[in-house]
Structure 1
Amino acid sequence: MGPPKKPSKMKKDLKKFQKVKKKKKNKNNSSNKSIPLDNKAIDCEWWDIFWNKNSPPPNPDSNSPLNEEEGFKHFFRVSNKTFEYICSLVREDLISRPPSGLINIEGRLLSVEKQVAIALRRLASGESQVSVGASFGVGQSTVSQVTWRFIEAMEERARHHLKWPDPTQTGRIKSGFESLTGLPNCCGAIDSTHIVMTLPAVQTSDDWCDQENNYSMFVQGVVDFEMRFLDIVTGWPGGMPVSRLLKCSGFYKLCETGGRLNGDAMMMSSPSSEGEEIREYIVGGASYPLLPWLITPFHERGDYEHFNPVLENARLAAVNAFSLLKGGWRILNKVMWRPDKRKLPSIILVCCLLHNIIIDCGESLCSDVALSAHHDYDYKGHICKQIDPSGISMRENLAKYLFRKNGDALCA
């Protein structure tokens, strides 16, 4: 056997190159480890950075926030405490399934707090993704990813903030409506609004074109006396009549089959009304049909002229709720540029959830953000002529009850 051969110069250079490459790889790994991957830590710095960058100059004559607490609610519609609660709802989802590439310009991963702030600002302001991104020092793509991931997480984790009330809660709602309006056994108020949008030519159709020649999507909501949403339906084209929208909803089917508004009826106490009763019901405007469980105004003048103002007072709960919803979450009030019609219902739902969370956390809805005009101020309501005979009897019973109650009050 001959002596071992010395390695050639080429082999020596190859080993040297591999050694250098290995060092570079280790160096890159160490630099990656410097990026914090543990997103469970609470980020307390993002607000200071945001406020210093975006706070308006002091001006007592304007509506600009005067301090940081007011400023926080101005930018995100919620208090710091409610913001922390929202973060707790979505934290695990945003940690376990974060959108890809969430590294800001400083080379650090975005915290859960900053992601939630970006999403809330986008929904609250309705500003472009570019504008929202600039205020946080991130790009348009990041705003898009963060907002959609937040919406997905909220849709899954915050559903319990929008549900039909149980019997105990329903009793409280009835008492609230009667205390505020005088209507007995009332379980809610219903209304609907349009979310206006532009559509590419290939997606346009008469179904989506409404009576004002806008492309829009309908939202229907039932609310309680505190303007909390109890039920919503959306995703339907804005070109359909309100009465058809109602009939397409799961809420209608449940009420028609006795699955909702099926609690105890109130018996009329007057001798002349013996055997007559007032069942559970909701109130709506003239665009809705008169049904045994959905009471609408009288169209003609007569003995019950006192009834319509009382009904309208109760119905305002729904009107004002939509005005606050679209005023608080301005993304719903701006003309949406070519939205994905499959995703838009999720955006609407999450805005309704956020609206309810504010109420459920004991905060008052910011009246200063409500729309100054009607939430559908360009739309003229149509009178629905559909009348159920049982609805006529129910409405007359209500009108009699109010007439006697008001008469007794006047006599006293």
Structure 2
Amino acid sequence: MAPPKKSKKTKRKPKFGDKSNTDPKPAEPKALEIDWWYSFWQKNCNSGPAVPSDEDEAFKYFFRVSKKTFEYICSLVRQDLVSRPPSGLINIEGRLLSVEKQVAIALRRLASGESQVSVGAAFGVGQSTVSQVTWRFIESMEERARHHIKWPDPDRMEQIKTKFETTYGLPNCCGAIDATHIIMTLPAVESSDDWCDHERNYSMFLQGIVDNEMRFIDIVTGWPGGMTVSRLLKFSGFFKLCESGKRLNGPARMSSEKAEIREFIVGDSAYPLLSWLMTPYEGKGMSASMAAFNAKHNDARLLAGRALSQLKGVWRILHKVMWRPDKHKLPSIILVCCLLHNIIIDNGDELHANVALSDHHDAGYKEQNCQQVDPDGKAMRETLARHLHCYQASRLS
């Protein structure tokens, strides 16, 4: 959920399935850019020592996805990119840009985080073309690919919970949560304390919940980085759904001591301890069961941090400082990068090992600490700690 925006008159965007969007189906103009990839590769193969010599690996290096996944992405946006007037979408030779080249330009812009001028030079197009192509792509993906981020249905959730219990020993765990800052510069007229975060950067928040495969199953963005992580959570639709019993409301599990363990997610100490959000124990003099819980909890919650490090490493536009972005458009850019992150996972693409950020996704930011402790959350954390202790004791006996 993003912050409410000021209402303004906009043209109605056709919804998926609208006759105005699908009937009659527009014919794709004949583009002459059939060899765009080979032209691009020849021009950029020596752009750095890290560029692979293998063609398929080089394609993945530049665009972050395999050729097969690239074709799938093109199939999602093709109708939109073809049906809209292609005003200005020509290269320096006067040829109309193909859908494939438009998608490549947009992916390269998002993946590299380089300036529009640099991306345009790599493809032989101007800055304005890169800007127009990228935004058309983002608008289309925001609508056509949204199904790649969704809360799991009961069957899929059972699979997730089974994996969390098998791998981390946490029964009924449904995911891990974390948040990161997208740093930007703002014009003086738009600067405010709301957007200035605790490290004196202007930033926008992204909160993500991931499953056992680091797939985003819920995201929240659009809120100022000056908020605390716990406040961001409480403004989210996810929080409201959980508090009203409409999410994380699946069947309870029984602990080794016959106590109920409800569905929950795990997060670090920046979050409040709630009946459906488990945070670690803090302080000195922890018991053996507390220490065991913290170890398992830490392993599980780091999934969210690794997902955000991968997201910002793959789609570097989110990692570099954004130069005066439109704050109303930035949430769409963040969402589409999250959608692409999930598409990579859904299609089984393997990323290069050095793509993810080597350091923390929020390097330079101090850890936050929330002191809120809900009595029901405290009781359930104790139940989980005892359950893990009993389970480990039974395995050693």
**Structure 1 match to 2:240:** 253
1:105 aligns with 2:92: yes
Distance 1:43 1:84, change over 3 A: farther
Task: Note the 1:198-217 alignment, pairs <5 A.
Answer: 198-217=185-204
- Determine if contact 1:189/1:317 at 8 Å carries over to the other structure: yes
**Structure 2 match to 1:277:** 260
Distance 1:190 1:98, change over 3 A: farther
- Determine if contact 2:32/2:95 at 8 Å carries over to the other structure: no
Task: Note the 1:227-246 alignment, pairs <5 A.
Answer: 227-246=214-233
Alpha-carbon distance between aligned partners in 2 of 1:337 and 1:121, rounded to the nearest angstrom: 17
**Structure 2 match to 1:268:** 255
SS in structure 2 at match of 1:210? coil
SS in structure 2 at match of 1:231? strand
Task: Note the 1:355-366 alignment, pairs <5 A.
Answer: 355-366=341-352
Alpha-carbon distance between aligned partners in 1 of 2:28 and 2:77, rounded to the nearest angstrom: 16
- Determine if contact 1:195/1:217 at 8 Å carries over to the other structure: yes
- Determine if contact 1:324/1:367 at 8 Å carries over to the other structure: no
Post-superposition offset of 1:367: 3.3
- Determine if contact 1:268/1:401 at 8 Å carries over to the other structure: yes
**Could you report, residue by residue, the CA deviation over 1:83-128 in whole angstroms, capped at 9, with x for unpaired residues?**
0000000000000014521111111110000000000000000000
Post-superposition offset of 1:66: 2.1
SS in structure 2 at match of 1:367? coil
Task: Note the 1:108-187 alignment, pairs <5 A.
Answer: 108-187=95-174
* Paired amino acid for 1:49: S
Alpha-carbon distance between aligned partners in 2 of 1:206 and 1:51, rounded to the nearest angstrom: 45
Alpha-carbon distance between aligned partners in 2 of 1:410 and 1:386, rounded to the nearest angstrom: 36
* Paired amino acid for 2:312: K
Aligned residues: 368
**Structure 1 match to 2:38:** 48
**Structure 1 match to 2:286:** 302
Q: TM-score, normalised by structure 2?
A: 0.90
**Structure 1 match to 2:56:** 69
* Paired amino acid for 2:145: A
**Structure 2 match to 1:402:** 388
* Paired amino acid for 1:39: P
Alpha-carbon distance between aligned partners in 1 of 2:219 and 2:33, rounded to the nearest angstrom: 34
- Determine if contact 2:64/2:314 at 8 Å carries over to the other structure: yes
**Structure 2 match to 1:387:** 373
Alpha-carbon distance between aligned partners in 2 of 1:165 and 1:408, rounded to the nearest angstrom: 33
- Determine if contact 1:39/1:112 at 8 Å carries over to the other structure: no
- Determine if contact 2:92/2:124 at 8 Å carries over to the other structure: yes
Alpha-carbon distance between aligned partners in 2 of 1:148 and 1:290, rounded to the nearest angstrom: 40
Alpha-carbon distance between aligned partners in 2 of 1:78 and 1:136, rounded to the nearest angstrom: 18
- Determine if contact 1:90/1:150 at 8 Å carries over to the other structure: yes
Q: TM-score, normalised by structure 1?
A: 0.87
SS in structure 2 at match of 1:369? coil
Distance 1:351 1:364, change over 3 A: same
Alpha-carbon distance between aligned partners in 1 of 2:28 and 2:140, rounded to the nearest angstrom: 19
Alpha-carbon distance between aligned partners in 2 of 1:64 and 1:107, rounded to the nearest angstrom: 29
Which residues of structure 1 form unaligned runs of 5+?
A: 1-36
Structure number with higher helix proportion: 1
Task: Note the 1:16-95 alignment, pairs <5 A.
Answer: 38-39=28-29, 44-56=34-46, 62-95=49-82
Task: Note the 1:368-387 alignment, pairs <5 A.
Answer: 368-387=354-373
RMSD: 1.4
SS in structure 1 at match of 2:52? coil
Alpha-carbon distance between aligned partners in 1 of 2:346 and 2:148, rounded to the nearest angstrom: 8
- Determine if contact 1:40/1:95 at 8 Å carries over to the other structure: no
**Could you report, residue by residue, the CA deviation over 1:14-55 in whole angstroms, capped at 9, with x for unpaired residues?**
xxxxxxxxxxxxxxxxxxxxxxx8437795411011111111
SS in structure 1 at match of 2:121? helix
- Determine if contact 2:31/2:96 at 8 Å carries over to the other structure: no
Match of 1:291 among 274, 293, 299: 274
Post-superposition offset of 1:218: 0.3
**Could you report, residue by residue, the CA deviation over 1:272-299 in whole angstroms, capped at 9, with x for unpaired residues?**
x33x111100000000000000000001
- Determine if contact 1:99/1:146 at 8 Å carries over to the other structure: no
- Determine if contact 1:98/1:149 at 8 Å carries over to the other structure: no
Alpha-carbon distance between aligned partners in 1 of 2:58 and 2:195, rounded to the nearest angstrom: 38
Post-superposition offset of 1:237: 0.3
* Paired amino acid for 1:51: W
Which residues of structure 2 form unaligned runs of 5+?
A: 1-26
